[in-house]
Structure 1
Amino acid sequence: MHLTEWPQFSHIDPHTLAARAANPKVVDGQGTLDANTWREAGWTFRALGRP
């Protein structure tokens, strides 16, 4: 879950994290992540308040 607006977490590289995640899923609770970038990196992406 992504629950902060801190830029060091909002601008993290999803490709780097995907290599470390066994099951890459993320829920963006702040609406600060780019859904397309995360999906292209192989993540299942969900965001509160967005389809």
Structure 2
Amino acid sequence: MDVKKLLTFAGIALVLYFVIAQPAGAAGLVSNIIGFLRDAAESVISFVSSVFA
């Protein structure tokens, strides 16, 4: 078995365990990640707007 496949399956299993064992914690984590990505995108947009203003 390929190491990449093994790590992929282990990662999926870990995520599924976390979602099943602590669904509220998993939802909070996803919310935090989405918030971070939104803030990063807004920062990039602000930077590009400043460059071309």
TM-score by length of 1: 0.25
Flag the structure with higher helix content: 2
- The two structures have a TM-score, normalised by structure 2, of 0.25
For the pair shown, which has the larger CA radius of gyration, 1 or 2? Answer: 2
Which protein is richer in strand relative to its size?
1
Which structure has more relative contact order (CA 8 Å, sep 6+)? It is 1
